[in-house]
Every structure is written in structure tokens, then in C-alpha cells.
A and B are shown apart, each in its own frame.
Chain A
């Protein structure tokens, strides 16, 4: 009886040790070793996803042996992860408040630099089938979109694109009466491309990315709510390896270079 329990105990201990190894494997830092090349970890805001993929290709070509790995999410989630000790080398935020959070916690290394701007635009669903009741009744301006009966979708004031939408409306002297305030700009775009909403306020870069599934209507006062994107090298870069801080700075410089800026411009971003 005792002997068998002992046997079971051995198996169980094996399982515990085994699962411990698996867990350790999960939490191992993702930075690569020096011989096989270096992995630079960049935390970038959701709206930067496509542009930064392209920038990574260019940067990797200029720096052989270096691999850029992205964590793409909402800026506030990224800031939260950085404060929680995520091993990131570079942080590119979609707004200044979230960058400020990181700076206030002393997680940056060097001053954050603005590298791009983004403004809002009005989008309406394209390709409305002829036999359905027109669900975009001649919307050509922000005033039209805020009219009674129009299903307007915007971002919630808690997120950057929602703050920009409020500033824009205030500047235009109109009051937004949205049917939904989404937690992310991609959710706003989704409601418009699916035809659920008559109109939505999204970034020009999102409208450009959505292509022909939406009509983008440029707003006269778009410049009254300009979102500035800052980028910085993070203090954690030094912990990832001796070559990381310098490499991270090189990445930031690349984003700010003429080559980097032209990639961002092609995707609809404005110059800082």
C-alpha cells in the first residue's frame, strides 16, 4: 500500500516538474541570442500594424542578422504591458497620453519623438445593393452624419480616436449623437463596412486600408483634431542585451528617416 503510493507520488512529481518546465518555456524572454542574430521587440499601436510590417522589411535589409518582432495592440494595452515589465525595446504609441504614462513611470530611455500624425475622416458604406432601402441618405459632411435618424458610430471618449471625434465635433459646432461608441477604431470601421451603420468617424489611414468597402469623406476641419504618434526607446532594451539600446535607437532613426517617412505617408499618415 505504502509502496504503491510512493510510486504514484513519483509519477506525480514527474508531472509537476514537467509542467514546470513547460511553464518556464512559456515565460522565457523572446529576445534571440547574439550568435544567431538579434531580435528587436517593437510594441506598436494597432493603427501602425501594416506600415510597421513594411518598415521592418526595410530595417532588416539594412541591418543583416536583426529580426524585428512586433506586438501590435491598442496603445493603452501596450502601455499597460510595458509598465508590467514586458521585455520591449521600442514603443510606438498612437497618442501622447499613453506615451506619457510610460514616461511618467520612467520606462523610457531618451525623449519620445513624434514621427507621424493622423486625422479623422468620415466613412460611409460603399456598394449598397440597388434593391435595399438607401441606408446612407446623402451623407457628405459631419453635419449630415449628426442629423436625426442617421446611424453614426464613433469611438468612445475613453480611447484616442474618441477624444479626437469629440474635439472635431466641438470645433465644427455640432453635437455627436452616435448609436454606438466603440472601444476601438477597428470596431467602428467594422460597423460601417458591414453596412450596420450609416456613417463612422475613423482615421484616414483606416479608411485608406479599408479600400473600396467604404466611401471616405474628407472633413473640412480635420486639422482641428490631429493625433500625434510618438516613438521612444525603452529602458527595458538594456536588459534585453548590450546591443539592444543602440539597435533600438537605430530603428527609431529609421522610422524618422526619409525612407521610413515615405512608407508612413503612403499609408495616409501625416508628417509630424
Chain B
């Protein structure tokens, strides 16, 4: 049997839950259902939704390609200052997104550290969908790296050692042993990465700008609609909430069920 929390704390806990949930309940209650289809099928809303899905999926794919090796480096490679490097990865997650946007502008803007040279090559990033993806990768990569670090550390290296001792090459060991074992952590990490990319606002508006179909993602559209049509903003917010709900159900629902199964098994 589970050890129940003291009754008083349970009450506070439930109040705590209300703090989190009440705003969302109010949001849903504020949606004008009769106007909903019209609001969601307007060209600007569809453009924003399409752009958000395209850029967030691209950003998630990029995070997968660069985040997995980064997590491996941070957990499996011994180098001085590794623990400091691991905390540095959290930086984009902790600083306000607008600060991230300013940092990206300083790096990749036309007069930026790297952007200046890209400009000479004829590459202009600001005001393009590529800038949106960069902003999303910047803020969401930590989610994937942290999830993978957790998976790598808790699982240990015994299986890989065995594979290596049996003569498998490091690459083959990675592809056939490490990667399959990482899949559950990877899925959870990718889902969170996608969700964070989809919700990106501050860095995008600072670094990429806001133009329908090119850089105005769903969160930016919500922010702009607030100016003239608060109801439309509420309707679009609902879309983001629903997507977020689906995402967390996929990422955490499965994991919880597995944990419950394990506990039930232990009791039997």
C-alpha cells in the first residue's frame, strides 16, 4: 500500500494543483465556440499554424542530430570542466528567451560575430524562417540533452562494454546497443523539445521578426491578435494548449504507466 501524505499537506497540494489548472479552465471557458471554426481557419491562423509545425519539426530534427552527440560527449567523454560544461547546457533554458534572442542577434545578426562573415558570403539569416528554426533550436536543445543525459547516466555502460569486448566497433556499438537502449529517453526528450520549440516566442520576436507565413509563428500570432481581437487570441491559445496536452500525455503518460506496472509487479 502507498504511504499517503498527511491530510493537511494533501489539501495544500490540491490547492497547488488549482493554481496551475484554473487559468487553463478559464481559457477554455473563454472560447466562443460558435466563432471557433472561423477564427481557426482564417488565412493568418492557418499560415501561423503551418509555419509553427514546419519550423518546430525542423528544429526538433536538428536537436536530435546535434543533441544526441552532445549528450554523449557530456556523459561519456572525460575532459576537464565537464560538470561545468553540463551546467552551461542549461543556460538557454534558464535565461529569459528575449535574452536568447539578443544573444542570437549578436552572434548571427548582420553585424554579429559570425553573421558579419555570413553576410560577406551572401547569407542573410535575419527575417527568414531559418532564423525562427535557429531560435527554436537554441531554446529547446537543452531539453533533449538533459533527457538523454539522464537516460545515459541511469542506464550505465555494461552492455556497451560487453559489445566492445566482443569485438564490435565503437560506431557499431553505438548504433546497435547504445541507441536502441536510449529510445525511451529519446522519445520523451524529443516530445519536450518539440513542445518547447512550438511555444518559442521571445527569441523569435527578437531575432527573427514577425511576418505572416515567414516568421510569424502561432505564439507571435496570438500576441498580435490580442491587440485587435482578444477572442481570436483566446481561440489560437486553445490550439497551443491542446497540442501541449497531447505532447505531455505522450511524453509522461507512457512513462507513468510503466512505473505503476513495475510497482504493482513488485507487490505481487
Contact = CB atoms under 8 A, between A and B. Distances in A.
A182 B111 contact: no
B119 A5 contact: no
B8 A10 contact: yes
Interface in B176-218: 205-206, 209-212, 215-216
Task: Please classify the interface of chain B as helix (H, G, I), strand (E, B), loop, or mixed, using the class held by over half of its residues.
Answer: helix
Contacts of A180: 127, 209-211, 215
Task: Please classify the interface of chain A as helix (H, G, I), strand (E, B), loop, or mixed, using the class held by over half of its residues.
Answer: mixed
B8 A13 contact: yes
B165 to A, nearest CB: 54
B243 to A, nearest CB: 22
Interface in A180-213: 180-183, 187, 190-191, 194-197
A39 interface: no
Interface residues of A, number: 36
B72 to A, nearest CB: 35
Contacts, number: 91
B253 interface: no
Contact of A12 (B11, B206, B209): B11
Given A158-B227, A181-B210, A12 B12 contact: yes
Interface string B223-261: 111111010000000000000000000000000000000
Contact of A196 (B7, B15, B105): B105
B15 A16 contact: yes
A10 B6 CA distance: 11
A37 B198 CA distance: 49
Interface residues of B, number: 32
B208 to A, nearest CB: 8
A216 B216 CA distance: 28
A132 interface: yes
B13 to A, nearest CB: 9
A74 B92 CA distance: 28
Contacts of B120: 133
Contacts of A11: 8
Contacts of A5: 6-8
A132 B116 contact: yes
Interface in A211-233: none
A194 B109 contact: yes
B119 A76 contact: no
A107 to B, nearest CB: 16
Contact of A8 (B9, B111, B212): B9
A132 B6 contact: no
Interface in B72-106: 105
B105 A15 contact: no
A245 to B, nearest CB: 29
A158 B223 CA distance: 11
A147 to B, nearest CB: 16
Interface of B: 6-9, 11-12, 15, 105, 109-111, 116, 119-120, 126-127, 205-206, 209-212, 215-216, 220, 223-228, 230
Given A132-B116, A183-B220, 6 more contacts: A76-B226, A80-B230, A132-B110, A153-B209, A179-B209, A194-B105
19 contacts: A5-B8, A8-B9, A12-B9, A13-B8, A76-B226, A76-B227, A129-B111, A151-B126, A156-B210, A158-B228, A159-B227, A181-B212, A190-B206, A194-B109, A194-B111, A195-B111, A196-B105, A196-B126, A196-B209
